Amino acid sequence: MEDPYATARLDLGNREFRLLQLQSSSDRGKITCILRSYPLNDCPPYIALSYSWGPTQSYREIDLNNARFPVGRNLWWFLLHMRLQERHGYYWIDALCINQSDVAEQNHQVQMMGSIYSKAQSVAIWLGEVDSSSNVAMQFIAERKPLDSGSISFGKIWTLEQAESVLRLCQRNYWRRIWIVQEVMLAKNATIFCGSMLVSWSKFEGLIDDLRRIFDMGLAHTRSAYLRCACEVLASPAIVIAKAISTRSERKQSLLTLLEVYRDHEATDIRDKVYALHGLAEDSQDLPIDYGTSPRDLLTALLRHAKCRASQSEKGRKELLRLGRMMAETLGVDCSDDEIESHLHYTSSSFSTDPVSSVTLEGFSASAPNSFCADLQTSDEGLEVRGEENQTHIMELVRRSKARGNSSRKYRKKLNKRLSDQDRRRTLSVASDSMLHPRRVQQEPSRSNPP
């Protein structure tokens, strides 16, 4: 089979990605697409697709850059509907725009996915092909009017057929995918497609808001088939996503928080339980995406990531162990509590006798864009400082403090005094005196995207 990516190579150092352009055709059953590469900051407007890959054993063929290329049946139906509706614009579709057989490219492109979805003109939510009730649900959502004060009853919102149709739509497998969390939450605009019908995301949100209003008005205890459907809709996987979007803020959440919230969502590749949340997390920079790593190695990296952010106390230790169990279960790794603690370099005695203390000066970040991580051990090899541009005078203070046997309090006061006003607006974290061995300082470059 010819390589469709040979004529659309990516310059990974220039943050390039591919876009797919759907071609018109007189043959109703033929789908022809062209792939071209573009820098992310200099590309035509495009639609990013959010969909479920579907069964791996069910494929159809398309023409991709003059090569026959297999695609999942669910994706084939989406492309066919877009072509029949003459939506011949540019699309970003992971299964086609990423060379899935190139691990280095896969790592690079998945690392960019947060930016790809947030930059897209719109995100197309493809729920799949029609069934016996989907057209009823889609038409109802598209045509319904907002709730008014005279319609405060479930029976006046929808018929029982409409209610049950909406419920089945909200229970489709699409809503259980872990990837859709990032794909939909980062969208500027989103449109829901099912078969040949479409509705705006705002219309869907409006229906959910009305159902919640009825519950808030005290009608939640009404016993009826309408209420049953409303309850099941509000408990469906679709509403988990809708609620996350309606309550999102500009402040990102931590990766560990996201892992806990969305751990029950599904992924074909177990590592995607972590990687699919990468673009939403505020602290994912020090956990690069690598499809060459095993789930067990990914768990080890996650445990170290968690350790760097945990409270260094007995309570923090217990919380860290709980998180470790959760992450091991999420990644399907059989790992005992002793193994988890060994990955964290903790023993029951070291927690109480060798604490890690932090000095926090409001607003200062010695690690610049990198997340701070104190990964201290009992070795005398030295102290690694990552991201600190002006470390010399700080290290000199550490040496003097060690030589004179200064207490932590005196050391902190002296360090605080020596820092400039500009530095004082950032946050500096250092280890307690008993743990510092500043014989060598290494300046590491900031982490960049994988090659």
Give pTM, 2 decimals.
0.74
pLDDT higher at 425 or 98: 98
Nearest to 210 by CA among 170, 250, 253, 151: 151
**Which residue bears the tokens 């059989």?**
334
Q: Three-state SS for 35?
A: strand
314-358 pLDDT tens trace:
667 788 889 999 999 999 999 898 888 887 764 443 333 333 333
Sequence-ordered alpha helix ranges (H) in 17-102: 73-84, 94-97
**Do the strands 46-50 and 90-92 form a parallel or antiparallel pair, or are they unpaired?**
parallel
**Region of poorest pLDDT, from 49-58, 208-217, 243-252, 394-403:** 394-403
Residue 11 has pLDDT above 70, yes or no: yes
**Which residue bears the tokens 């492309």?**
79
45-85 pLDDT tens trace:
999 999 998 876 678 999 999 999 999 999 999 999 999 88
Tokens representing 276 are 């699919």
User: CA triplet 157, 162, 165: central angle to 5 degrees?
Assistant: 135
Mean pLDDT of the chain: 77
List the chain domain ranges: 12-120, 134-246, 255-353, 360-451
Q: How many alpha carbons fall within 13 Å on the CB side of residue 250?
A: 0
pLDDT higher at 154 or 326: 326
397-418 pLDDT tens trace:
444 444 444 444 554 454 455 4
Task: Report the amino acid identity of residue 317.
Answer: R
CA gap 128, 117 in Å, rounded: 20
CA gap 12, 251 in Å, rounded: 29
pLDDT class of 280 with cuts at 50, 70, 90: very high
Neighbours of 119 (CB within 10 A): 18
CA gap 398, 392 in Å, rounded: 10
